[in-house]
Structure 1
Amino acid sequence: MRRLLLAALLSAAAAPAVAQTAPQISVDTMKEVTKTLSSDAFEGRAPGSAGETKTLAYLQEQFQKAGLKPGNKGRWLQDVPLVEITAKNVSALTFTGGKTPLSLAYGPDMVVGTYRVTPHIDVKDSDVVFAGYGIVAPEKGWNDYAGLDVKGKTVIVLINDPDWQTKDLNGPFNGRAMTYYGRWTYKYEEAARQGAAAVIIVHQTEPAAYGWNVVRSSNTGAAHVADATDGHMHDTAAHGWMQLDKARALFASAGKDFDQLAAAARVKGFRPVPLGVKASVSFDNTISKQISHNVVGILPGREAPNEYVLLSAHWDHLGHCTPVNGDGICNGAVDNADGTAALVALAQANAKAGPARRSMVFVALTAEESGLLGSAYYGDNPIYPLSQTVGGANMDALGMYGPAKDVIVVGGGKSELDGYLNAALKRQGRYATPEPTPEKGFYYRSDHFSLAKHGVPMVYFETGQDLVTGGRAAGEAAAKDYEEHRYHAPQDEYDPKWDWRGVEQDVQLYYMIARDLADGTAWPNWVPGDEFRAIRDKSRAGAAR
């Protein structure tokens, strides 16, 4: 059913006016760049490390050799100021004023942190409000904050979208498929826009798509944010998560039934509910600032040089990490040295083909592993106007599984770029497979999202699993093996025995999509009702014509 639905969406989407043929992509280039970037000499490519210095020098050399021009006003680099914030001396999160005072311990019961660049956070006796799913979606007539001023208050919200329990993809928020409104990052952002002092998400394993262990490990160490002139003081003072059983206890103390209110929050027209209790939490912050860098190159367009098509991949990885059998370098060969290598090979192939009608921008991004910070910085501080950026594609962790009959489309049905992907797949005799777990919101977890949230349509797909040799069973086994034994571990290393034929196929797809966009005149948009459509429409309405 999902495959049929996606096929219908793809066939209805905009198709390119110019159909590119698959070019020769240099596998030798991709092998060499991947091998170099993932070598121990680059120390896992952590931002701010000696490995970054080597990576930047190498990528500038490779971009220039491929035929690109410096993409940032004569420079190859875009400075990305980062801030590392580590919470310490974290107090319990307490709730008073109800039937029973509650005290939630940091780690087992709750996690908390801040984006504010300040040495101390103190939220004291803040009124607590349950704001359902914490969503404000005017295009859907949905406002979980309607009728209540939450300035200075602590907001409790649910994870995912109101229709996450739907078994199909039909619903006000795309049913089972998560929209950005369901992501924890959005919940934090909207609470800040509403002026809340703090926002706490109730953890539930199924709609979150991960257990409390992931929440705890991801939120009890150093956090990174892009530096900002206001020190992120516009954000909530505190944000975090709480265990489900603690949420139930809190609501009971307030004389409310959690399950009843959670069910009510799934229905359009829900209004926020004051709980009649007060929240307090405090902690200190250790703050460290550093400058990292995006690497930017451009192939100027021959007829419309002020219109841009963007291709991206993140160059960073985890650097030094927990040793396994004495090896303490997380080399990130698949994640994402091979994606960066593909970016270089695409630059090489497009330069060889000659200028396209529009300009083509190639960006190797920093700090993806720290929370998409390099792409977020580019989105907030674009070198080329986003209103004039036609669209693009992002490459992350290309799978070394061999040639496949399909690709897995992440975020299928969101934009008219599906038509471009479908046209390119048809030329290869391949097909699109919908992502098997749309409820996990993978579209919002890699660098393309940072452009999408500013309205720029971005396509993203993963290596297919219906392998030419061995079929889907072999593909699923290969993907599982990588995830369980190499992903984010020292074992993600270059292997000279890799079969590059599948990667070559996928990079040819990226070439055709990008070149179709760059040689065309169309401005693909998000489909009507998508959460990014209004942003794009507003951006294009104000664009230079």
Structure 2
Amino acid sequence: MKKNLALLSMGAVLFACQPGEKASKSQISEESLKDHIEVLSSDDFQGRKPFTEGEIKTVNYLVDQFKSYGLEPGNGDSYTQEVPLVELTAMPSETMTIEGNGQKVELSVLDDFVAYTERVVEKTSLDASELVFAGYGVVAPEYGWNDYEGLDVKGKTVVVLVNDPGFASGDSTFFKGETMTYYGRWTYKYEEAARQGAAGCLIIHETVPAGYPWLVVRNSWSGASLYLDQSGDNYQPNVLGWITRDAAIKIFEASGKDMKNYAEMSRSAEFKPFSLEMNASVTVQNEIKKDQSQNVIAKITGTERPDEYVIYSAHWDHLGIGQEIDGDSIYNGAHDNASGTATMLGIAEAMTNMSKKPKRTVVFLGVTAEEQGLLGSKHYAQNPIYAPAQSVANINMDGITAWGPMKDLTVVGYGQSELEDIAEEVATKQGRYILADPDPGKGYFFRSDHFQFAKVGIPALYASGGYEHMTKGVGYVDSLNQVYLTSQYHRPQDEYNPNYWTFDGMALDGVLLMEVGLKVANSEDWPEWKEGSEFKAIRENSMN
């Protein structure tokens, strides 16, 4: 039985670094971080979208950096892992028509709805498909909840709410209250609709429970999208999509149903799904392109336990060239996620410069297609180079703040794993404090690559500073966060800005995450999932 790290003294010598192993801020060069971000987020890299010239340049850059540091190839004699993807460029009809009850509602593409398909076909459609309101679209036996109970949706289209029933309920024991569960993620909604055999699934967008505005939906679900190429995979609905709240209200009003309190209705234990007695019609045409993308992987072989692995991850991709906004069409992705990729490179370089190498093998994994649904990490988790049972921990970097040093270390998914206890020890030494994600309702724990590691049982840490500036306080950071979320996130405006970007805070976070990795890599013990984590049983089963 593995030792429980939570029972160990925070000052235990178990994790003490040997001479030459301890990280210091000077070991992660702020100038190198700046250089990496300037290169990766430059127009020359075209927004780093898979299947483009931008991918080729990015992969070559990462491989060249790893080689220059002296890192070993991480996949046999190769620095890459092929990820088979299919690119579907969805072209939905200009309108979605909703008819029934003597009423007709016409929705406009992009303004009122987005629609696509994950079926690898040139054309698919909903043809007068009956609309069924299925609340949150959740089947959760552990909560005694089934929004599909008694319902046959084969050939029908389900209309569901974003997030889960616990959100805005005011009850922290109902699901997880304001903290989103996996049942609240849009990916789950589509997965469950597919399991139910639905012909279509439309998610009602609302900014607060979704965690992002409609513009993000519009940008992310228009044009070309990537999926893992898994021939013979399970059933997929004909059409998947989102509709705005205003569009949903138009449909509800046309249906003649009493839907004024549709969210509250859906949170009731008495809720039962029902037909809206309206039919939806829309067509989606696809351009299909199959190709290989690349995860980039390198390692430092452990000196004593080389067959046990600590995995750092960061996604290298962004959205490429897309819809023009304010005269710019290159989605550079400086914060998302040139910052995380640069930090991973900084840690890799610093570790190779240490005189004493870690006892466990340390792996550096740059994954592809995170923006298209965590696809690179999903492929790695399904086709691991290093077995999950031998993988001790994952430390993920996605969006490392470049606005200066932070007092906080915000842990997304706080309470999940013992890695956060190790991170707290390091943060305390830096004069910082641990902060649980202040906005857990947005489900950030399910929105980056660490989640794919968690799904196969590997304890994962996703943490960085981003709440309280060391000298400028909370308000300063909040103002920059609001600017980023409202005018830069998933837009061409996510660019390196020398007017207020600094790299001392990024280096500080890099050192912290490096220290956490070193403590785990030089220990004989294995961090575990905490009681109540949905991933604990997966880990225990994989270790038996």
Name the TM tier (shorter chain). 0.7 to 0.9
In structure 2, the partner of 1:362 is 364
Change (3 A) 1:353 1:369: farther
Which residue does the alignment assign to 2:122? 119
Alignment of 1:109 with 2:106, yes or no, is no
The letter for the 2-side match of 1:218 is S
- d(CA) in 1 for partners of 2:488 and 2:418? 35
Residues 98 and 104, structure 2, Cα contact 8 Å, conserved in 1: yes
- After the TM superposition, which of the residue ranges 268-277 and 184-193 deviates more from structure 2? 268-277
Alignment of 1:502-521 (within 5 A): 502-521=505-524
For 1:451, the equivalent position in structure 2 comes to 453
Task: Say whether the 8 Å CA contact 1:318–1:330 is kept in structure 2.
Answer: yes
SS in 2 for 1:507: helix
Deviation, structure 1 residue 375? 2.1
Report the Cα distance in structure 2 between the residues aligned to 1:229 and 1:258, rounded to whole angstroms: 40
Instruction: Note if 1:70 corresponds to 2:73.
Output: yes
Matched, 1:54 2:57: yes
Instruction: Please report how far the alpha carbon of residue 447 of structure 1 lies from its aligned counterpart in structure 2 after TM superposition.
Output: 2.2
Partner of 2:103: 100
Closer/same/farther in 2, CA of residues 405 and 33 from structure 1, 3 Å limit: same
C-alpha distance in 1, partners of 2:284/2:372? 22
What SS is found at the alignment partner of 1:506? helix
Decide which of 492, 495, 506 is 1:492's aligned counterpart.
495
Partner of 1:288: 289
Where 2:267 maps in the other structure, the secondary structure is coil
The residue number in structure 2 matching 1:538 is 538
Aligned-residue offset at 1:248: 4.1
CA distance in 2, matches of 1:427, 1:453: 31
**Once the 2 structures are TM-superposed, how far is the Cα of residue 293 of structure 1 from its aligned partner?**
0.8
Note the C-alpha offset of 1:150.
Answer: 2.8
* The 10-residue stretch of structure 1 (271-280 or 137-146) with the greater mean CA deviation from structure 2: 271-280
Q: Deviations over 1:450-469 (max 9, x none)?
A: 32333333211233342233
The residue that corresponds to 1:267 in the other structure is 268
1:57 and 1:138 map into 2 onto residues whose CA distance is 47
Q: Which moved more, 1:151-160 or 1:480-489?
A: 480-489
How many Å apart are 1:198 and its aligned residue?
Answer: 1.0
- 1:84 aligns to what? 87
Aligned pair partner of 1:137 in 137, 140, 148: 140
Cα distance in 1 for partners of 2:334, 2:216 equals 24
- Superposed, 1:162-173 pairs within 5 Å as 162-167=165-170, 170-173=172-175
Change (3 A) 1:173 1:417: farther
Aligned-partner SS, 1:474 = helix
* Cα distance, 1:13 vs structure 2: 10
**TM-score using structure 2 length:** 0.86
Q: Residue type of the partner of 1:237?
A: N
* SS of residue in 1 equivalent to 2:235: coil
Asked if the contact 1:307–1:359 (Cα under 8 Å) also holds between the matched residues in 2, the reply is yes
With 401-410 and 263-272 compared, the bigger mean Cα shift is at 263-272
Distance of 2:260 and 2:9 partners within structure 1: 43
Q: Distance in 2 between matches of 1:441 and 1:358?
A: 32
How many residues align structurally? 530
Structure 1 counterpart of 2:387 = 385
Q: In structure 1, give the amino acid aligned to 2:137.
A: G
2:477 corresponds to which residue? 475
Change (3 A) 1:163 1:448: same
In the alignment, the residues of structure 1 paired with residue 69 and residue 258 of structure 2 have an alpha-carbon distance, to the nearest angstrom, of: 62
Structure 1: which 5+ runs fail to align?
Answer: 1-9
CA distance in 2 between partners of 1:269 and 1:539 (Å): 35
Deviations 1:389-440 (A, max 9, x none): 2221111232222222222222222333221221221222210233332222
The amino acid that maps onto 1:467 is H
Kept after mapping to 1: 8 A contact 2:91/2:223? no
Distance 1:246 1:13 in 2: 54
Instruction: Classify the secondary structure of the residue corresponding to 1:123.
Output: strand
Deviations along 1:143-166, one digit per CA (max 9) or x if unpaired, are 222333333332121111112114
* 1:343 alignment partner in structure 2: 344
Q: CA RMSD in A?
A: 3.2
Q: Do structure 1's residue 33 and structure 2's residue 33 form an aligned pair?
A: no
Distance 1:186 1:325, change over 3 A: closer
Shift of 1:363: 0.5
Quick one: distance in 1 between partners of 2:529 and 2:193? 25
- State how far apart, in whole Å, the 1-side matches of 2:129 and 2:23 are: 59
Distance across 2 between alignment mates of 1:202 and 1:483: 20
**How far apart, in 2, do the equivalents of 1:475 and 1:211 lie?**
20
Query: 1:6 aligns to what?
Result: none
The one of 187, 190, 209 equivalent to 2:189 is 187
What's the CA shift for 1:486? 5.7
Which residue of the partner structure matches residue 4 of structure 1? none
Q: Is the 8 A contact 1:294 1:365 kept in 2?
A: yes
